[in-house]
Structure formats: structure tokens, C-alpha cells
Amino acid sequence: MLRRLIGHLVVDASEARLGAALAALREDGDRLNLNLLGEAVLGEREARRRLEGTRSLLERPDVDYVSIKVSSVVSQLSMWAFEEEVDRVVERLTPLYQTAASSPEPTFINLDMEEYRDLDLTVTVFRRLLEQPGMLQLEAGIVLQAYLPDSLRVLHELTEWATERRARGGAPIKVRVVKGANLAMERVDAALHDWPLATVGSKAETDTNYKRLLDRALRPEHTDAVRIGVAGHNLFDLAWAWLTANDRGVAEAVDIEMLLGMATGQARAVREDVGRLLLYTPVVHPHEFDVAISYLIRRLEENASPENFLSAVFELDDEEVLQRELGRFRSSLDALDDEAPGSRRTQDRLREWSSGSGRQLVQEHARAGERAQDPAAAGLTQAVLGLSRGSGAAAATTGFRNEPDTDPALPGNRRWARLIIERIAGSTIGTSTADAARVSTEAQLQEVLRTVSDRAERWGERLGYDRAAVLDRAGLALAANRDRLIEVMASETGKTIAEADPEVSEAIDFAHYYATRARELDVVGGATFVPERLTVVAPPWNFPVAIPAGSILAALAAGSGVVVKPAPQARRCAAVLVEALWDAGVPQELLALVDLDEDELGRALISDPLVDRVLLTGSFETASLFRSWRPDLALQAETSGKNAIVVTPHADYDLAVADIVRSAFGHAGQKCSAASLVILVGSVARSKRFRAQLVDAVTSLRVGYPDDPTSVMGPLIEEPTGKLLHALTALGGGESWLVEPRRLDESGRLWSPGVRDGVTEDSYVHLTEFFGPVLGIMHAATLEDAIRMQNGTDYGLTAGLHSLHPDELALWIDSVEAGNLYINRGITGAIVRRQPFGGWKRSSVGGGAKAGGPNHLIGLGSWKPSPARSSSTLHLRGLDDRARQFIEAAQSSLRFEQFDLLRRSALSDQLAWATEFGVVTDISKVGVERNLFRYLRVPVALRLADGGDLGELLRVIAAGLLTRSRMDISTSVPLPPQVRQMLSGDELAEMAGLVPRIVVETDAHWLERAAAGRITANRIRIIGDIVSDRVDGYTGAEPSSQPTEQQAVVRRSADTAGSFTDVVAGVTRGSTGAPVPLQRADGSRVPLATALAEAIGGALDTVIYADPVTPAGRVELLPFLREQAISITNHRFGTPIDLSDDVV
């Protein structure tokens, strides 16, 4: 069916059919330019096959003209290795050109091009090929795209070169001028990388530049050396070019070129005027007809776009349409005398920090750093009523923009990168700072901690707005040190420049993004942020700049001092990073670098009472070790991952393979987000094409050290041992090597990547994180089975799906258990704000607020209620029915100030829900990629501590009701009967299993239940706990150690309050059997959160929230919700699609 539909656009390349098809197409005297289509070139096997197929065409007696692209004859091109890639392509293409040069009949090769990134490479290869011995008399051609403003410069350079070649007795060259057919993918490339669009800004500008190129080329002084192919279907443009060529006497040097099968009637008319045409003729073998889809989509886009002439070609007998196209043509002619556009891509890392551009960057960030505003500043009721009336309340506009990565398509950037590469092998930067940070004794460590803690007090007292200014300067300092940061990463940890450069961009993004969030900490209505004094940052070696930068900058933004203890393998990286931050104005007394023996002083650092919080990125086992030292440690950690990509029969196999390989083997698989497994659903597991493409792509990866610019996959951080060595060398039962990994050097750090097939569910390979270049393949009969396998590990960091079926997307999104979901794209490379990063299950410890997301800073300190003016009104306008019913049920049991807190809190909750927590947002609005951020409810256990305030408990219950989270409520006093009735009488809640379980008990009994594992929720919200001394100004009273009247009614109310067991004594047993005291030796109360942490042994799966209750929905809703980021490719070959619009 497909072949019949597209047979007039694409020719069958089979031996039995091709000859007859070519003969038929030549009946009108036309010449044919054949372009062999094929599978996506993901590896060297397909590249060589494509080249051999083109050579076979060229050797046919009925073929005298072929087109070929650089990107189709070599795989995995890297512009960082520009000179080496030129050599590789020239070596690959030389035999083809020699075939043409030695042919007894004139045979022509046209070097085609699609992407802007290939422009310099294609031109350089073209010239290098024709400068080789024996090629002087070969006439060959190259394509230039008019929508690239750079093409005018390239035409000038080619003309000068070809004129000199002609003067030496050489043959002319030919330039095929096209308008450009890859605009959609150029837009994708620009949007994803935050680069300017490489093409001119409009179709009208393209039309003008097309004529500008032809005007420059169609001159007698040029056409002897450079023949011109005028390619297109716009009849006005073709007529203008042909008349211009005739007027100037150069018509013999011009070919009029059109696409096979497009507007055949118009082609016939053109042929009658100009003689024969040159038809661009795609050919494809029958078993690969589906690969012509991308070519056809571009053709259909040309037909469909109202800006393109082809969309009107069949309506030119309509006078209105004719005049419209004539007007467009005349406008493009009128603009010919305008100044020609320059290159749109002007990034130059060698020059960007000249004095002028540096000042501009500072000014841009100064403009972006305006004070944040509380969205409810004009009044909560009015804000909520505005929402209910449909006026909306937009999220705060931050002015944040992601930092662009370095564009390797630009020659200045490539020269800059070469200078870095030349320094890698002998680099020692950061050594002196790292050595100076050595701490050898506990006394030295104590001095560092005291210094930072003391300095942090003044830092935390500053407004978030003021701290943000320092962070913005830090971002500029990181940008200015991009080359040094790349150099040290490559030198110390083996990162290739392609991996290291985006990491610096991420660090810069963290600085500016957290600056915006720091400003917003100042304006959370109803709550005041209280910074921690001292945060310890314990980063990994695999992202030795971005992760420590993110943690350091987040802590600084949140008002804390920082002590950073880098991984031993990345000491110098951390040193260069903190040097840049110090240079930006972060005081050394506020940010300290320490290098210490982990075995001897690591425990002393983590356990020190001066340390308020630890930000860890490492293994789950390391997090467990930290908590074993200090059960009540405020620990936030991004830990392990065992990540899988599911591929269904509805996937684009070529796209899936490319994304799998990048996700599995980037940085040699040493990423917590890396794809460790691919799960093939149904027929995909039996697909020979899928397996062949996967093997081709994996075996073509060039492995080497970063001082070799051709390296695509870098080294391991150290020689593998343990789990990773086992994964690289041993197979489990039923497994086999699809690609067997090999050790490549004596150091043991260079390994070729491996792919093992036959991995079974619940096997060692299925469940174990290896952190290296090994990919396991699993087979699943159905998507449901695949999801079960994907969810079947202890971790939930990243997860991927490749499918083009919306029903499969819907099922997968609703079922998969991971913090970051990726659809039809790779699963690594999360970008700040665009894809906030953090996992579920054992991939995360702490509150789960994602790095680079809107809530990350909120959890890095404490919150207290801010003074608020009580309202004299009792109205509940603007609230939804459930919230209103709950408040009405509670009203008679509350004092006015308690009622007012509950009412104001409900309004704040509803505003936060409507603008943030209850909506799915795509704040980045990339367009070609949907980056969605949403919140999903989680069960929460509530505990009203002995002596706590009932009104505060009701306030927190109201937040849980809004989110519809399941709540288990433990309270030291009974709930009012009307409240219990309202909670238990909600039919919808009962149907959903959300009716709260209510227990009235003492703190001691509750702790006993916790120690016995009888509190099942992983999130626990304690109300009425003792607050930290730093939560200065909190007006809540410290709970009394003496029984209160509220506690005295516990026994009397047991029967009416729900399930209840006997009150126990004032101590309970911890998870180890040791008693957990509720009082210290001096008679002071132990905070309930501390006692709970002891009781459960510092369990990593449990998150304890114990801050004072506030009326701020922005704060109080968070314990009931967990975050999820979903990134979905939203185009096919650049054309927007609505695949997921009705799914999420």
C-alpha cells in the first residue's frame, strides 16, 4: 500500500525495477539526480552500506548523476573533532569520487546537505576531495541552502576557490541553490539547545536570499568556474532566474532542477521553455520503503504550508491566489537591495568575555532580578475569587533563561575547544586549592565548621533578594570559567568535552534559577522562611561540577553556609568550582572546601551537631550509613537508579535505538539516570532490524580519553571491581552477549560497551545498578508486563517509553513509578527548570523536592507562620464545597483565631492548588518538546503532639482534604464530633479508600506504634512539636511536660474517637529495642521528630515534617504531594504532533 501511495515520488531501487523506471523517467529528455534513501545511519555498518549502494548506482551505465550526504557515509559525527571528521569523510568518499573521475562517460556527484551543523564540514570536505591528485578534471557539485544567511559567504568563498582551480586547468564546479527543506528540524535544534534559529527569520527573507544568491552567481565572470543549479518549484522564481541567466548570457551554465513527482504539470510547462530538467530522484529498496517517511513529510510540509508556492500551485487560475503569489515575488525582488543578513549563530567562546559582552551579560541578569511579588498580596479572598471567576492567576514570571550550550558548528567555538583539549593531559588546575583544603584532625574540622556556622548567621539574615544578587554573579563567574571547568573535568574524571560542556551550562542554570527562587522565599504569604545555619554538601564524581554547584548554590540561596566535601576522585573539580564562586563574591568563610579521610573524619563531619542538613548525591547505601550515624539527620539525597526504556511495536525503531544508545553509554554509563535496561515489547524483541541497528550503533561508538577529540564514549572513573566488573565479564542464566564488552587498555579504565540479551525478571541484572557501559535486554509479551518489569526494582529515578500510540502513552504515564518520565527521547540530560530532576522510591531520600525545580529551596530550611491581620468576616466565599463543609463542621469547636487561621489557610491552599499544585504546567514552553510538571498525591500520617493545638491539626487536615491524599490521623485530643462525621461521611472519599483512620493516643504510644512499623505512610506530619531555637519569633508555646486537660480526655474519648489502644508510659522502644526517651536528663522535652527518628532507626523511606503550622498553602500542601516531570518529544521530523495532547 505504501509503495503504491508514494511510487510517483520515490523510485524502487531493486535491480528488477530500477532500470525500467529510470528509462521511463527519461522519456521527456530529463536528466536524473539519484539519491539513495535508507535506514537511519546510526553506525558504521549502515554508513558503509549506504556508500556502497551509492557506488553501485554510480557504476550503472544508466546512472550519471547521484547525490550523497556527508552524514550518510559516516556515523556519529562529532563537530568537536572537526579536522579528524573531515579526514574520515574524505577517506570514505574518495573511492566514490575516483569512480566518477575514471568513468568513460561524464559522471556527476552532488554533495548534499540538510543540517546547518554540517555546513562547514560539507564545504571543507568538498574542497578537500577535489584538491586531491587526479580530481582536477572532475566536475562535481555541492548544495547551498538559501534560508541559511551563511550561504552567501560560502558562495563567495567557493567562487574564489573554483576560479583559482579553473585557472589551473581544472573543471568547473556546480552549486545547487535550494531554499532549504530542513527548516522544521532547524527549529527543533535551536529550541532544544537555546540557540538562535540558524535560518533567516521568515519565508519572505528566504525568497529574497534565494534571489540574492542567484544574482551573485549568475554573472559571466563567475559561471565559467561555477555552474548553477536553480532548484525549486516557484514558477515566478524559476522564470526570473532563467530570464536573468539569458539576459546575462550565462544560460548554458544553468540547470533548472525540480523534484520528482511534484507539480508535474508545471514541470512540463517549465520544460517546454528551458529544455530538459534535472529531476531530483529519491530511490529506495523495497524492504526500506518506510524510511522514505521523513523525506515525504518534508515534501508534504512544503505542499501544506500556506507560505510555500507549492500550496497554491493548483489554484493559480484563481486571480486572488495568483495576485498573492505575484505580490510575494515582487516583495522579495524589492528587498534585494537591502543589506544581506549575517549569520544568525554568532556565539564565540573565545570572544564572549570581552569587556563589552561581559557587561551586557551582567546587565541582562540585573534586569531579570526584579523583586518577586506575592500573588495574593492584594488579598487571599480576592485572589481566589478571581480564579473562580475565570480571570486566572498566572504563575510568577521569573525572567530565567537557560544557558545555551556551546555550539560546535561554529569555527570560533571549535578553536576554543581545541585549546582546552590541548591542555587536558598536563592539566593540574585546582591542585593547590584542593591541597589547601586538606583537613587531617577533628580540631581542624571543628574550626572549619564553627567558622562557616558563625558567618552563616549574617548570611541567613539577608533577604533572599540580596542573596540572589550574589547567585547571579556566581552564574556569570561560572560562565566565565567554562573552559577551566571543562578542562578539569576532562583531566580528572575523564569527561569528554561533549559531556562536560552541558554540565557547565547546568551549573550556570542552577545559579540563576535558584536566584529567582531565593527572591520568592521572601514573599510566601502567611509564612516566613528560616534558613539553616550549616549545610554539608557531599557530591559524587560522575557530575563533578553540576551536582556540587547545584547543591552549594541551593543551600546558599536558602541562606545557609556550606561545607562541601567532594568525592576523592573529583577534588580538583570541586576546587576550581569553589574558586569561581569565591571570585564571584561568595565569602570563603561562608563556603568552605574540605578534603578529608572519609573513614576517619567522615563520620565526625556528618554527625557534628553544628551540621543542620546534608545534601548527598550518592548511593542508597551511603545515605543509610549517614543515618546510622545520626538518625535525626536532615538528609536530602539523590541516590541510585535502575532505569529502563520500554520499546513497543508502535515505536520509531531508529529513533528508539539512537536514544537508547545515548542514554546507556553517555559518560560510559556512569550516570544515575542512565538506561541500564531496555524492555522490548512483543514483536520488537524479534525484530532483526531493531537488533541490527542497536548492534551497529553500539559497536560504532569510539571509546577513548577526552584528550582525543574523536572519543564519543570516555573512560571509567577507575578500574572496575565488584558489581561492575561482574557485569562486564559474566553472564547469568539464559543470558547471552549481543555485544560483548572488551577491555581496551592496560589501565582497565577503557572498555568497549556491552549489550546482554535474555535478562529475566527479578534476576541479578534486572535489579542491580552497575554504573557502567552495560545494557541489558528484557522481553515482555505486553506493555503491562513491561511496566511491571520497569517498576520491579527498588528504584524510581528515570524511565523511558518509545511508542507513537496515544493509548500506550496513557497507560504508561498512569502506571510507571519514577520521578522523571521521558517519551520518545533519551532519559538522561535533565535541564534545570525544563525537567526538574529527582526520583521516587529508593532513588530519593528526604522530601523529594526536585533539583532545579520550583520547590527545591522550600525544603532547605524551616517555616514559621508570619504575623497576619485577623479578618472580621466569617464568610467562606471562593472555597470549593468540600473545604467549606469541613470548615463549617469545625467552626463550633474553634476559637475565633483558630477559625480565622483555618479559613485563611483554606483560601491560601486553594490559590496554591489552582496556580501550582493542582495543574499540569509546561513553564519552559519549548514547543517541540512538552516538558510537563505535575504533582501526585501520597499518603500522609498526621500526628498532633501532646499539648498541640487542635486548630492547627484541623488546618493540616484541610490541606490533605484538598489534595485528596489518604490520611492516617493520630491525635492527642479527640476530633470534634461534627468533624469526625464529615470526614467519615464523604461518599466519594469512602469509595476511593480515602476515609482517614483516626487514633487518639499519647506521643509515647504513637512512638511505640512507629517503632513497631505500624505507621505505614512514608510521610509524617507532626503538629505542635518543639521548634528549633532558630525558628525565632514563633509564638506557639513549647508543649508542657505535664499532662494537660486535653490529654486527660484521651481515655474518656477513646470509644468515640476511633480505634485506640492503651496509653503506655513516657518512654517507648526504638527499632533496635533501646528505649527512646521523651525527656532529656535535664528535664527538657525531646522534640517529637527526634524521638520518632530514633524510634524508626533513621529509616530512609520515611520523611518527617515537623515545622510549625502555617496558613501558607505553598508550604503546607507539599507533604501531601510528590513531584513528577514528564518530557515528551512533540514533533515528527520537526512537524508538530498532538500525540500526547489528550493523554496528559
- Are residues 209 and 200 in contact, defined by beta-carbon separation less than 8 angstroms? yes
| Residues acting as catalytic residues | 638, 672
Distance CA 1024, CA 944 (A): 6
What contacts 24+ positions apart, CB below 8 Å, involve 758-764?
A: 758/734, 759/677, 759/732, 759/735, 760/732, 760/733, 760/734, 761/788, 761/789, 761/792, 762/792, 763/732, 763/733, 764/732
- Report the amino acid identity of residue 701: L
Residue 534's nearest CA partner among 621, 624, 454 is 454
- Are residues 292 and 284 in contact, defined by beta-carbon separation less than 8 angstroms? yes
Distance CA 790, CA 818 (A): 9
DSSP state of 266: H
**What is the SS3 string spanning 214-229?**
HHHHCCHHHHCCEEEE
SS3 of residue 1060 by DSSP: coil
Residue 967's nearest CA partner among 919, 889, 1023 is 1023
CB atoms within 10 A of CB 439: 22
**What is the SS3 string spanning 500-569?**
HHHHHHHHHHHHHHHHHHHHHHCCCCCEEEEECCEEEEECCCCCCCHHHHHHHHHHHHCCCEEEECCCHH
What is 636-692 written as a DSSP string? Answer: EEE----EEEEE-TTS-HHHHHHHHHHHHHGGGG-STTSEEEEEEEGGGGG-HHHHH
All three cell numbers of 459 = 548570611
What contacts 24+ positions apart, CB below 8 Å, involve 876-880?
A: 876/903, 876/906, 877/381, 877/385, 878/381, 878/384, 878/385, 878/387, 878/388, 878/907, 878/910, 879/384, 879/906, 879/907, 879/910, 880/910, 880/962
Distance CA 393, CA 773 (A): 47
Question: What are phi and psi for residue 736, nearest 5 degrees?
Answer: -145, 155
- Are residues 316 and 45 in contact, defined by beta-carbon separation less than 8 angstroms? no
- Are residues 754 and 775 in contact, defined by beta-carbon separation less than 8 angstroms? yes
User: What CA–CA distances, in Å, run from 688 to 413, 694, 1020?
Assistant: 41, 10, 51
Q: Alpha helix (H) ranges present in 998-1052?
A: 1003-1011, 1045-1048
Which residues make Cβ contacts (< 8 Å) with residue 86, sequence separation at least 6? 121, 124, 125, 128
